């Protein structure tokens, strides 16, 4: 089934390519100046040096040189980002600013061209393969809260994947393979036309996995187009799909003894009970369908209007291991985000006003069956959520060296849940008013200093409010998360020689939503204080040497209550990554890289009694590029975990006495799918 989808995408690409005359001219290299502007921080194009936030940009050239096979691999080196495997093994969670890895999806907003791909429920997965790597123009990572700009789910940061505009002829073909039967095939073709241009792309990635019963494969296909209506109006459209199929190595992970003895094993039993672990023999799947249509109108040089519309359907199936069954989620989400931006020059000063309304409507049908074999007589919950959030942003430059910005948003959320087989009929309304203010100083051309303060919020998800594990009980007392953050930062940019970005932040969050194993439901926790810093350094002391280093520190502790002074579980306090690239003659570049992660406490270990060891992961990368008469050929070889280090990206403390009285608690270790030493070879041809 999956290979048929891939073949179909490639055949369509071949037909379109044959129907249009091939232009052999190579596209121009990305201009370095393009990295001096970002669109994510203020939802309009603005100079990076004037943004009161730290924004990391991963360019198309960075992606090509990295040899990465997924967006997640690219994000692993961004300051402040922490990665952890999903409990079920079917995906990767990304967290920022000291939010535990299992809450990352709720606090880090993920966008593709401004369209949300973050799941609309707490148990759904972000499909990181929704976009072909060769079609990404840049990835902008905004470090810090953006509730005013984007509303819900943007408390810790925003990741915006921006695709290429199909105005130049280009074809990319990538094939790779490596250890654990890793394999990848990617294809994309772009073609300009008299009316605009289009791009078609598709890809497939698979692996047998490092641990037993962890095979997985993903695929995606997409068609994008741009229509130039006239000199001032354009229409962008896209339609695509992405899928993930993955095996589950076990719901409860491995004990510490099993992990130390053989991390590749799959125990197949619930530790300490001798009972079969049903999750060790099941598969999970995730399917995405998405479509978008965006109208842009440059009314004048100073006035711009945008009207993006979007649709997304995401189906996730995985083991609801605590209730001993299967859970399926299938939310449909419609979005509309009209936006108006005005730029003025009163008395030769810069003034930009941006305003709009974000509207999203989601319907979700959750099915839970306690019958693993037939999946019969499921509990069914029909849920709906409507969110509307008008916002206004202002940026004022009274002097060339000073930029002041402010913004506010009022957001309202309307929820309803009804159970077909359980006594559930529940409605709730939430609202939030958030604001922010910041200033940026540019006393020198290469220096940026900024300070910022803002309030934040996050609504409960639909499936946070209704608990399917206990026959449809309601979390009627669950409140939205609220908080604030204050931060400052500095940026230095000696072009061609050195670049430094550093920030320092402090935040307080109330009513943060956590999982309570005693009731199998979500609860609001006591206030949590977070403070930390993220530092990124890039050096090119001589033409042939590049050095990159990123360091992140965060201290997240409970400020009140029974766990006062205790560290938030699943939060890695220190992370450090570094890489050295040596550019040799004849198109060859190579060098080592290293990633350090400090110890962390397992999920649900609120008393901090079971620390998981720190880890140091070494790697190597080599890239050879050769220009041909028709294009460019690149060969990339990467070696991951050179020292074959054992490390767990995630662990959970299970108190089995909640479900089976008399059994002692234990810590389950979840093995990263990329843990073992592996070699990958990738060949890319662009013409």
Q: Which of 362, 371, 337, 321 is nearest to 90 (CA)?
A: 321
The tokens for 403 are 């930029």
Mean of all residue pLDDT scores within the chain: 83
What's residue 9's pLDDT?
A: 35
Kindly report the pTM of this predicted structure. Answer: 0.88
Whether 311 is in a domain gets the answer no
**Residue that wins the pLDDT comparison between 267 and 172:** 172
CB 271 within 8 A of CB 666: yes
Altogether, the residues listed in the chain come to a count of 687
Is residue 318 included in any domain, yes or no? no
CATH number for 22 = 2.40.170.20
| Cβ atoms 455, 482 nearer than 8 A | yes
* pLDDT the model gives residue 439: 96
In sequence order, what DSSP letters do the residues of 22-80 get, joined into one string?
A: PP-PPPPPPPGGGGGEESTTTSS-EEGGG-SSEEEEEEHHHHHHHT-SSHHHHHTTSTT
Coil vs helix vs strand at 295:
strand
Above 90 in pLDDT, residue 510?
yes
What pLDDT, on a 0 to 100 scale, did the predictor assign at position 101?
Answer: 58
CA angle (201 as vertex; 296, 77 as ends), nearest 5? 85
Q: Is the pLDDT of residue 179 over 70?
A: yes
For residues 335 and 313, give the distance between their C-alpha atoms in angstroms, rounded to a whole number: 12
Q: What is the mean pLDDT of residues 202-210?
A: 90
Task: Give the 3-state DSSP-derived string for 96-148, with helices as H, strands as E and coil as C.
Answer: CCCCCHHHHHHHEEEEECCEECCCCCCCCCCCCCCCCHHHEEEEEEEECCCHH
Domain count for the chain = 1
- 204 domain residue, yes or no: yes
Alpha carbons 45 and 138: distance in angstroms, whole number: 14
Q: Is 586 part of any domain? A: yes
What are the tens digits of pLDDT across the range 218-274? 889 999 999 999 999 999 999 999 888 888 787 788 888 989 999 998 877 777 667
* Per-residue pLDDT, 468: 59
Residue 313 lies in a domain: no
Is residue 121 situated within a structural domain? yes
Q: Which of 397 and 378 is assigned the larger pLDDT?
A: 397
Which regions of 400-526 does DSSP assign to beta strands (E)? 402-419, 424-444, 447-458, 466-467, 473-474, 481-494, 498-510, 513-516, 521-524
What band does 103 get if pLDDT is binned at 50, 70 and 90? low
Residue 542 reports pLDDT greater than 90: no
Q: Flag whether 680 is in a domain.
A: yes
User: What pLDDT is stored for residue 1 in this prediction?
Assistant: 40
What is the distance between the alpha carbons of residues 598 and 613, in angstroms, rounded to a whole number? 7
pLDDT value, residue 324? 53
Instruction: Please compute Rg for the chain using Cα positions.
Output: 25
Instruction: Encode pLDDT of 450-477 as tens digits.
Output: 999 999 999 987 777 776 555 556 777 8
Whether residue 362 has pLDDT greater than 60: yes
- Tell me the two tokens of residue 237: 């459209």
The DSSP letter of residue 180 is G
Q: Average pLDDT, stretch 184-189?
A: 92
Bridge partner residues of 241 (DSSP): 221, 289
Q: Is a pLDDT exceeding 60 seen at residue 22?
A: no
Check pLDDT > 70 for residue 102: no
The answer to whether residue 653 sits within a structural domain is: yes
Tell me the residue range of the domain where 98 lies: 2-276+286-306+333-686
Whether 617 and 644 have beta carbons less than 8 Å apart is answered as no
Tell me the pLDDT tens digit for each residue of 104-118. 567 888 888 888 877
Residue 395 is predicted with a pLDDT of: 95
């Amino acid at each position: 089934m999956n290979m048929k989808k891939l073949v179909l995408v490639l055949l369509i690409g071949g037909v379109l390519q044959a129907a249009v005359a091939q232009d052999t001219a190579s596209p121009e290299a990305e201009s370095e100046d393009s990295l001096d502007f970002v669109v994510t921080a203020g939802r309009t194009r603005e100079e990076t040096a004037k943004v009161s936030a730290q924004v990391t940009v991963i360019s198309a050239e960075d992606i090509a040189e990295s040899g990465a096979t997924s967006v997640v691999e690219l994000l692993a080196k961004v300051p402040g980002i922490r990665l952890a495997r999903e409990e079920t093994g079917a995906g990767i969670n990304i967290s920022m600013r000291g939010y535990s890895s299992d809450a990352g999806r709720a606090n880090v907003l993920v966008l593709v061209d401004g369209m949300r791909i973050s799941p609309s429920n707490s148990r759904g997965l972000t499909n990181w393969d929704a976009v072909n790597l060769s079609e990404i123009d840049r990835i902008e990572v905004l470090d810090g809260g953006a509730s005013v700009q984007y509303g819900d789910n943007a408390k810790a940061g925003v990741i915006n994947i921006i695709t290429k505009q199909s105005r130049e002829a280009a074809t990319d073909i990538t094939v790779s393979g490596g250890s654990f039967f890793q394999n990848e095939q990617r294809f994309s073709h772009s073609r300009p036309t008299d009316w605009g241009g289009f791009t078609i792309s598709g890809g497939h990635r698979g692996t047998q996995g490092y641990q037993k019963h962890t095979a997985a494969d993903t695929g995606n296909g997409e068609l994008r187009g741009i229509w130039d209506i006239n000199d001032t109006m354009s229409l962008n459209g896209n339609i695509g799909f992405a899928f993930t199929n993955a095996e589950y190595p076990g719901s409860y992970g491995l004990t510490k003894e099993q992990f130390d003895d053989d991390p590749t094993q799959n125990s197949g039993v619930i530790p300490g009970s001798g009972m079969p672990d049903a999750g060790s023999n099941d598969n999970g799947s995730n399917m995405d369908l998405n479509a978008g249509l965006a109208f842009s109108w440059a009314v004048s040089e100073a006035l711009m209007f945008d009207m993006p519309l979007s649709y997304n359907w995401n189906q996730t199936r995985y083991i609801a291991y605590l209730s001993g069954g299967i859970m399926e989620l299938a939310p449909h989400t419609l979005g509309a985000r009209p936006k108006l931006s005005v730029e003025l020059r009163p008395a030769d000063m810069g003034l930009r006003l941006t305003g709009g309304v974000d509207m999203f409507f989601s319907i979700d049908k959750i099915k839970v069956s306690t019958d693993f074999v037939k999946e019969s007589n499921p509990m069914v919950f029909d849920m709906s959520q409507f969110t509307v959030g008008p916002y206004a942003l202002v940026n004022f430059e009274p002097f060339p060296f000073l930029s002041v910005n402010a913004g506010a948003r009022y957001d309202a959320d309307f929820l309803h849940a009804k159970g077909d087989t359980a006594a559930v009929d529940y409605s709730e309304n939430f609202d939030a008013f958030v604001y922010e203010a910041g200033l940026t100083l540019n006393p020198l051309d290469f220096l940026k200093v900024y300070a910022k303060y803002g309030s934040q919020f996050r609504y409960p998800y639909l499936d946070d409010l209704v608990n399917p594990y206990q026959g449809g009980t309601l979390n009627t007392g669950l409140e939205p998360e609220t908080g604030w953050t204050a931060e400052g930062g500095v940026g230095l940019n000696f072009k061609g020689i050195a670049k430094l970005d550093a920030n320092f932040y402090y935040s307080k969050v109330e009513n943060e939503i956590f999982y309570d194993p005693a009731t199998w439901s979500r609860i609001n926790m006591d206030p949590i204080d977070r403070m930390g810093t993220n530092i990124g350094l890039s050096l090119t002391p001589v033409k042939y040497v590049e050095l990159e280093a990123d360091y992140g520190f965060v201290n997240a502790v409970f400020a009140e209550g029974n766990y006062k002074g205790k560290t938030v579980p699943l939060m890695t306090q220190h992370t450090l990554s570094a890489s050295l690239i040596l550019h040799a003659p004849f198109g060859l570049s190579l060098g080592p890289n290293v990633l350090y992660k400090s110890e962390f406490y397992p999920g649900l270990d609120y008393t901090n009694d079971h620390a998981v060891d720190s880890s140091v992961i070494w790697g190597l990368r080599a890239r050879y590029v050769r220009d041909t008469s028709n294009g460019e050929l690149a060969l990339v070889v990467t070696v991951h975990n050179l020292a074959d280090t054992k490390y767990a990206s995630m662990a959970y403390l299970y108190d089995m006495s909640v479900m089976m009285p008399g059994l002692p608690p234990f810590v389950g270790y979840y093995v990263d799918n990329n843990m073992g030493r592996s070699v990958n070879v990738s060949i890319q041809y662009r013409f």
